[in-house]
Structure 1
Amino acid sequence: MQYFEDIEVGSTASFGAYRVIREEVTEFAAKYDPQPFHLSDEAAAKTHFGRLSASGWHTCAMTMSMLVENLKNHRQAGLGSPGIDELKWLKPVYPGDTLRCESEVIDKRASVSRPEMGIFKSRLTVFNQDNIAVMSMVSNGLVATRPQ
Structure 2
Amino acid sequence: MKFAEFHAGQTIEAGPYPVDEAEIIRFAKAYDPQWFHTDPQAASKGRFNGLIASGWHTCAIAMRLATDAALHGSESFASPGIERIRWPHPVRPGDRLRLVATVTEARRSASKPDLGILEWRWQLFNQNDREVLELQATSLFDLKPG
Q: Determine the structure 2 residue equivalent to 1:141.
A: 139
Counterpart of 2:113 in structure 1 is 115
Q: Which residue of 1 aligns with 2:67?
A: 68
User: Is 2:16 the partner of 1:9?
Assistant: no
Deviations 1:6-35 (A, max 9, x none): 421111111122110111111111111111
Question: How many residues were matched structurally?
Answer: 146
What is the DSSP-based 3-state SS (H/G/I as helix, E as strand, rest coil) of the residue aligned with 1:91?
A: coil
C-alpha separation in 1, matches of 2:143 and 2:38: 45
Partner residue in 1 for 2:41: 42
Q: What is the alpha-carbon distance in structure 1 between the residues aligned to residue 9 and residue 113 of structure 2?
A: 23
Residue 2 of structure 1: CA displacement? 1.8
Contact kept? 2:105, 2:118, Cα under 8 Å: yes
Q: Which runs of 5+ in 2 are unaligned?
A: none
Which SS does the other structure have where 1:70 is aligned? helix
Give, as a single letter, the amino acid of the residue that structure 2 aligns with 1:58: H
Unaligned 5+ segments in structure 1 are none
Assess if the C-alpha contact under 8 Å between 2:75 and 2:142 holds in 1.
Answer: yes
1-structure distance, mates of 2:130, 2:82: 22
TM-score by length of 2: 0.90
**1:23-82 deviation per Cα after TM superposition (whole angstroms, max 9, x unaligned):** 11111111111111111122212222110111111111111111121136x743212211
**What is the one-letter code of the residue matched to 1:26?**
I
Could you tell me the TM-score, scaled by structure 1's length? 0.89
Deviation at 1:146, TM superposition (A): 7.2
Provide the rounded CA distance (Å) in 1 between the counterparts of 2:26 and 2:19: 12
Map of 1:102 onto structure 2 = 100
1:58 equivalent in alignment to 2:57: yes
